[in-house]
């Protein structure tokens, strides 16, 4: 029998600690090694119990989740999953500050035992814990992706009609870095499909708008897309683009999490833009979007995959490189250099 996944629960409420413990222990592959009520006790417990993953609350007395996450990721990295009952825009924006310093994901706290959605939301949490516990982390002294700059080869300057980005685990921090580093105005639209738990996309968009030089928004159904804008696919929807420059949103089955949202979007990009897209596949588990990235490359699009050194999880970019779906492998800093050089006036 394989070893159980060791979980440390961090929450300032004893009632919530017991609630989460009871849910997680329903899965036979999970064990609870300890609990903590604030940031400092979380750090102490992480050192004492060496958990495989930490579920982290946002707001706690004394040292909060942000400071605790920053300290843990700089000293003894452990996958940290943010678990919060508050998915309001302001709270979600704060949650992404934890992602920026190294947390691997975030999820809404399961519904109460009496709620009709309890069983489904509990399974979602267990699945997320087991998935994120597999993430292999290295000690990171900071989150500045520009520290990994390497000189780009002399790539041929081919101006695309759009930029499309697909990302999963670890993606939000890389996307933030890319958007804050783009030279503007940008003569094309940017589209982003980021795997996201339900309820967090508005906060993600608000967080990105604090740093992006381009306006970032969740599109509405049938919205006409414009150059110099960034469009982030809403959670629980498939996003696609049409021949008449509209963004289409189609409700999807939330039970499947985000299993094929990038694939669905990249397929529409090939149909609308043919070979005139610049497509990026960033850090993340699985292979969502990989086959469609290969199709985009075959159509003549320029395709980039994030390198292994800078990826929290090299699943999607690694699979893209394996089947030669990505034309180039780059760090986020190299990607920025490439994009800015592509659109610079000669």
Q: At which residue do the structure tokens 């929807």 appear? A: 237
The one catalytic residue among 288, 307, 331, 337: 288
The verdict on whether 288 is a catalytic residue reads yes
CA angle at 193 for the pair 191 and 195, rounded to the nearest 5°: 165
The verdict on whether 195 is a catalytic residue reads yes
Q: Using CB atoms within 10 A of its CB, is residue 81 exposed (0-12), middle (13-18) or buried (19+)?
A: buried
Q: At what angle are helices 65-75 and 89-100 packed, to 10 degrees?
A: 20
145 near 310, Cβ under 8 Å?
yes
The one catalytic residue among 145, 195, 264, 314: 195
The one catalytic residue among 41, 121, 122, 168: 168
Give the pairing type, strands 246-251 and 237-241.
antiparallel
CA angle at 73 for the pair 99 and 28, rounded to the nearest 5°: 80
Whether omega for the bond prior to residue 9 falls within 30 degrees of 0, making it cis, is: no
As given in the structure block, the two tokens for residue 129 are: 């814990």
The verdict on whether 168 is a catalytic residue reads yes
Active site positions, annotated: 168, 195, 288
């Amino acid at each position: 029998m394989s070893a159980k996944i060791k979980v440390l629960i961090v929450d300032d409420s004893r009632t919530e600690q017991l609630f989460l413990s009871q849910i997680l222990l329903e899965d036979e592959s999970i064990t609870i090694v300890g609990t903590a009520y604030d940031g400092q006790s979380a750090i102490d417990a992480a050192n004492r119990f060496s958990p495989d993953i930490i579920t982290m609350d946002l707001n706690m007395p004394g040292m909060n989740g942000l400071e605790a996450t920053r300290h843990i990721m700089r000293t003894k990295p452990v996958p940290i999953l943010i678990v919060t009952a508050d998915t309001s825009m302001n709270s979600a924006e704060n949650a992404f500050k934890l992602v920026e310093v190294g947390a691997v994901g975030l999820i809404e706290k399961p519904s109460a035992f009496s709620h009709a959605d309890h069983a489904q939301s509990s399974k979602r949490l267990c699945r997320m814990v087991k998935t994120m516990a597999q993430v292999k982390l290295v000690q990171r002294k900071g989150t500045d992706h520009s520290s990994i700059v390497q000189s780009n080869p002399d790539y041929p300057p081919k101006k695309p009609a759009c930029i499309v980005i697909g990302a999963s685990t670890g993606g939000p921090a890389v996307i933030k870095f890319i958007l804050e580093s783009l030279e503007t105005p940008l003569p094309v639209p940017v589209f982003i499909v980021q795997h996201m738990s339900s309820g967090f996309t508005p906060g993600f968009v608000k967080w990105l708008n604090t740093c992006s030089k381009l306006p970032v928004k969740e599109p509405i159904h049938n919205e006409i897309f414009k150059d110099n804008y960034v469009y982030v696919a809403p959670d629980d929807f498939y996003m696609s683009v049409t021949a008449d420059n509209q963004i289409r949103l189609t409700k999807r089955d939330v039970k499947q999490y985000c299993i094929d949202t990038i694939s669905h979007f990249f397929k529409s990009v090939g149909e609308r833009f043919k070979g005139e897209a610049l497509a990026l596949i960033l850090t993340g588990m699985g292979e969502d979007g990989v086959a469609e990235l290969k199709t985009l490359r075959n159509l003549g699009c320029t395709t980039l995959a994030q390198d292994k050194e800078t990826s929290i999880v090299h699943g999607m970019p690694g699979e893209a490189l394996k089947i030669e779906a990505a034309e180039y492998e780059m760090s986020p800093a190299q990607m920025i250099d490439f994009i800015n050089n592509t659109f610079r006036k000669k």
